Amino acid sequence: VGTVSIDKSEILSALLSKRGIPHNVLNAKLHAKEAEIVAQAGKFGAVTISTNMAGRGTDIMLGGNPVYMAKAQLAREGYDEELIRLCDSFFDTEDEAILDIREKFAQLNARYKDAISKEVQKVKDAGGLYIIGSERHESRRVDNQLRGRSGRQGDPGASMFFLSFEDDLLRLFGGERLLRIANSMPQSDEIVINMRIMSNSIENAQKGIESRNFSRRKNVLMYDDVMNQQRSIIYKQRREVLDGADVQDTIKNMMDSWITSSVEQACSADSPEDWNFDLIREQFQGMFTTDRDFRYTPAQLDELTAEFITDLIRDRALQRYASQEALFGSDMFREVE
Q: C-alpha distances in angstroms, 160 versus 81, 123, 179, 234, 259? A: 38, 18, 22, 54, 67
Identify the pLDDT of residue 151.
Answer: 85
DSSP state for residue 273 in the 8-state scheme: G
Which segments of 126-195 does DSSP mark as H helices, in order?
Answer: 140-147, 168-173, 175-184
179's torsion region: left (phi>0), alpha (psi -120 to 50) or beta? alpha
Identify the pLDDT of residue 58.
Answer: 62
Q: Over the stretch 222-261, which tens digit does the pLDDT of each residue have? A: 888 888 998 998 898 888 888 877 788 888 888 899 899 9
Q: Residue 276 burial (CB < 10 Å; 0-12/13-18/19+)?
A: middle
| Measured distance CA(121)–CA(140) in Å, rounded | 32
Identify the pLDDT of residue 188.
Answer: 65
| Measured distance CA(34)–CA(16) in Å, rounded | 19
Assess whether the region 6-165 and the region 166-243 belong to the same CATH fold.
yes
Identify the pLDDT of residue 302.
Answer: 82
For residue 261, what is the enclosing H or E element?
Answer: helix 248-266
Sign of dihedral through CA atoms 28, 34, 35, 41?
negative
Identify the pLDDT of residue 232.
Answer: 92
Domain ranges of the chain: 6-165, 166-243, 246-336
| Measured distance CA(40)–CA(46) in Å, rounded | 8
Q: Over the stretch 56-111, which tens digit does the pLDDT of each residue have? A: 556 788 988 888 889 888 988 988 888 888 898 888 888 899 999 999 999 999 99
| Measured distance CA(337)–CA(334) in Å, rounded | 5
Kindly report the number of other CB atoms within 10 A of residue 266's CB atom: 20
Identify the pLDDT of residue 266.
Answer: 86
Segments of the chain scoring below 70 in pLDDT:
28-32, 53-58, 174-177, 179, 182, 186-194
Pick 6-165's CATH classification: 3.40.50.300, 2.40.240.20, 1.20.120.330, 2.50.20.10.
3.40.50.300
What DSSP string describes 305-316?
-HHHHHHHHHHH
Q: C-alpha distances in angstroms, 59 versus 72, 117, 228, 298? A: 16, 17, 39, 83
Is the full-model pTM beyond 0.85? no
Pick 166-243's CATH classification: 3.40.50.920, 3.90.25.10, 3.90.1580.10, 3.40.50.300.
3.40.50.300
**What are φ and ψ of residue 159, in 5° steps?**
-140, 150
Hey, is 89 helix, strand or coil? coil
Identify the pLDDT of residue 202.
Answer: 80
